[in-house]
Amino acid sequence: MSAPQSGPLSGSSPSATPDPLRDPWIAPMRRALGEAARATGTGDVPVGAVVLSADGTVLGTGHNEREATGDPTAHAEVLALRAAARATGEWRLTGATLVVTLEPCTMCAGAIVLSRVDRVVYGARDAKAGAVGSLWDVVRDRRLNHRPEVITGVLENECAERLTAFFRDR
């Protein structure tokens, strides 16, 4: 599975020290941040997610819609995974990458494992509810039958600032 290409169009800065682990995911994270912005219009927490195929094609997107729909499961990750499954016609999203602005919670981490995505890329850590390394580490639990690769801290400051501003304004 190849990562999306980085470079001037991906949003990486030529003056910044290159980070081969995170730089390829800058453009998809910016897309996820765009999704997150859509959530604030309904009073939802601004979290956005994008599911990419192995070749970098967008399979699905989502943003939090719990307030908008009254659905407690309408997290950005779950909605993006559902859209990707519809697009592929498969519940197994083998080869796919989930890019999300905030570390997934336990519900979303479970959905990630069950959907068989190959990789999770997230921006901001969630010390209160994060289940991909902060509070729990569901996706890397050796007792489970699938453990995706995890890449953290992609555009972490931008992702965290969006959340901080949302809660500050509330």
C-alpha span between 103 and 133 (Å, rounded): 8
Q: Is 146 annotated as a binding residue?
A: no
The order of strands in the sheet holding 58-63 is: 58-63, 48-52, 97-102, 119-124, 149-151
Q: What's the Cα-to-Cα distance from 88 to each of 19, 23, 37, 94, 97, rounded to whole Å?
A: 31, 27, 26, 11, 14
Catalytic residue among 65, 77, 156, 158: 77
Please, are residues 124 and 101 in contact by the beta-carbon 8 Å criterion? yes
Geometric angle at alpha carbon 81, from 76 and 86, rounded to 5°? 130
C-alpha span between 100 and 94 (Å, rounded): 17
Does residue 77 have an active-site annotation? yes
Q: Is 159 annotated as a binding residue?
A: no
Q: What's the Cα-to-Cα distance from 152 to each of 42, 51, 111, 149, 163, rounded to whole Å?
A: 28, 16, 18, 10, 16
* Pairing between β-strand 97-102 and β-strand 58-63 as defined by DSSP bridges: unpaired
Annotated binding site for Zn(2+): 75, 105, 108
Annotated binding site: 75, 105, 108
> Which residue numbers are catalytic?
77
